[in-house]
Every structure is written in structure tokens, then in C-alpha cells.
A = this chain, B = another copy of it.
Amino acid sequence: MRYELFYWPSIQGRGEFVRLALEEAGAEYIDVARERGRGKGLAAMQRLMAGPELARPPFAPPFLRAGRQVIAQTANILYFLGPRLGLVPESESARLWAHQLQLTVEDLVVDVHDTHHPVASSLYYEEQRDEARRRARYFTGERAPELLGYFEQVLQANSGGRGYGVGRRLSYVDLSLFQVVAGLRYAFPRMMAELEPTLPGLVALHGRVAKRPNVAAYLASARRLPFNQDGIFRHYPELDRG
């Protein structure tokens, strides 16, 4: 199966959680909006979203085409891909648990996005800077410690912090937690310097994931977009802890 991923071509964003799963699994895929040629590129993605071709249209990217199926919503895409890529245990209860954790990652992603866009995605950061400061103070002081503490607890309960989040093998949840740690280190370095001593399992997991051969090769490649000020994880020093 050759998968087609549709996502904004210049940011990691939500698409990155899907890219990491495809890369770790060595899956054959096209990052459609980042390629050139017929039926590719950003314009092709936008045409597909706006047009009548899709019987089940996505509200927003990312979405994945797998044969005749088109699937949107990041966590839903990973739920679909998990068993196909060997990135989740097979039992229904483990799949639901992994999905539950992924949806909680999504909650964190929304919170991170709203630190710099608390009013409107369609306005510039500079147009909502005052609101962003208040929202970010709440995020760095309350929400981030709560959510990261929760994931740490899950890792400790599953593997004593020396293994993975779900079951005994790597799952897409671990890849997503890697991305969360990497993104928060970029966006909120002072907060992370203070929190990391309380998150030994998460920090160790980030390190282990980064060293996996396929992930390491991906991170070193041009396919891995750098963090930047257009994505979800953005570094505005004034939003970090003081």
C-alpha cells in the first residue's frame, strides 16, 4: 500500500504525528503537498478539499488517502494506521487505550496552538499578543505540568519509565510523545528545563525514540521540516516561563 499524506507543506504541525508513524514503519508514502508534478503540490490538495471528488470530505488537513479510503483527523488517521504499520498492540482494548492517549496528546496540541493564537487562527500572533501572554501563563503554569505529569504517570505504570506507553513495543503514542517533548523544548525551553527533572520517563522515551534507526534517518533528512514560527510549536520567548 502506498499512502498519500495531505498536509500543509511548510510546517510540521499536526501532520508530523502521521509522518513520524509512516517513517518509523518504513511505509511507502507521498507527502503530496510537498511534491511537484501532476496531482501534487499544495494546489492539488486544496482542489481536492474544495471539490466534489471526495464523498467523505475532510474539514481540514491532515488527511490520508489509502487506496479508496480518505481519512481525516490526526488521531483517527493513527488509529487506522496503527495495526497496518505494526505500531499498536492488536487487541481492541489496547487500541482504544492507545487512541485515548493520542486524543489526550491532541488536547495538548490544541493548548499549545492556543498559547500563540488564543483569539483566532485567522489573526496574526502580533494581533493577539496580550491574550497570548495570559493564556501561555496558564499553559506553562498549570496545563502543561498536568498533562505531562499524566503521560509520565502512564509511562511509569506501564514500564517503570524504562519502556513504552502502551504494551511492550513501540507504538504511535510513543512517537507522538517524542514529538511533544521535542516541540515543547523548542517552544518553551525554560519551562521544559524546569519540568524535565520531574519527567524522567518522558525524557528517556524521547531519547530512545530519537535513536531508532528509521526515526534518526528521518530526523537527519530534508523530509523533517525544521520547527518554525508558522507551526504549532513556536518559540516566542515572552510566552515561556519567566
A172, B96: Cα distance in complex, Å: 18
Q: Which residues of B contact A46 (CB under 8 A)?
A: none
A69, B56: Cα distance in complex, Å: 31
Q: Which residues of B contact A150 (CB under 8 A)?
A: 57, 59
Q: Please judge, given known A-B contacts A103-B75, A147-B59, whether A134 and B153 are in contact too, CB under 8 Å.
A: no
Partner of A128, one of B96, B99, B134: B134
Partner of A76, one of B56, B100, B118: B100
Q: Which residues of B contact A157 (CB under 8 A)?
A: 55, 57
A55, B59: Cα distance in complex, Å: 35
Q: Is A110 part of the contact surface with B, judged by Cβ < 8 Å?
A: yes
The reply to whether A119 and B131 contact each other, CB–CB distance below 8 Å, is yes
Q: Is A97 part of the contact surface with B, judged by Cβ < 8 Å?
A: yes
A 95-109 binary contact with B (CB < 8 Å = 1; else 0): 011011001100100
Q: Is A144 part of the contact surface with B, judged by Cβ < 8 Å?
A: no
The reply to whether A71 and B100 contact each other, CB–CB distance below 8 Å, is yes
The reply to whether A107 and B59 contact each other, CB–CB distance below 8 Å, is yes
A:173-206 near B, CB below 8 Å: none
Task: Write the nearest CB–CB distance from A236 to chain B, whole angstroms.
Answer: 16
Q: Please judge, given known A-B contacts A59-B147, A147-B59, A157-B55, whether A119 and B138 are in contact too, CB under 8 Å.
A: yes
Q: Is A72 part of the contact surface with B, judged by Cβ < 8 Å?
A: yes
Q: Is A124 part of the contact surface with B, judged by Cβ < 8 Å?
A: no
Q: Which residues of B contact A114 (CB under 8 A)?
A: 114, 118
Q: Which residues of B contact A103 (CB under 8 A)?
A: 73, 75-76
The reply to whether B134 and A57 contact each other, CB–CB distance below 8 Å, is no
A:112-158 near B, CB below 8 Å: 114, 118-120, 122-123, 128, 131, 134-135, 138, 142, 147, 150, 153-154, 157
Q: Is A221 part of the contact surface with B, judged by Cβ < 8 Å?
A: no
Which of A59, A73, A122, A128 counts the most B-chain CB atoms under 10 A from its CB? A59
Q: A59-B104, A119-B135 are in contact. List 5 more A-B contacts (CB 8 A).
A: A55-B157, A71-B96, A73-B100, A119-B131, A122-B138
A-B contact pairs, 9 of them (CB 8 A): A58-B100, A59-B104, A59-B147, A59-B150, A73-B104, A75-B103, A114-B114, A118-B135, A131-B131
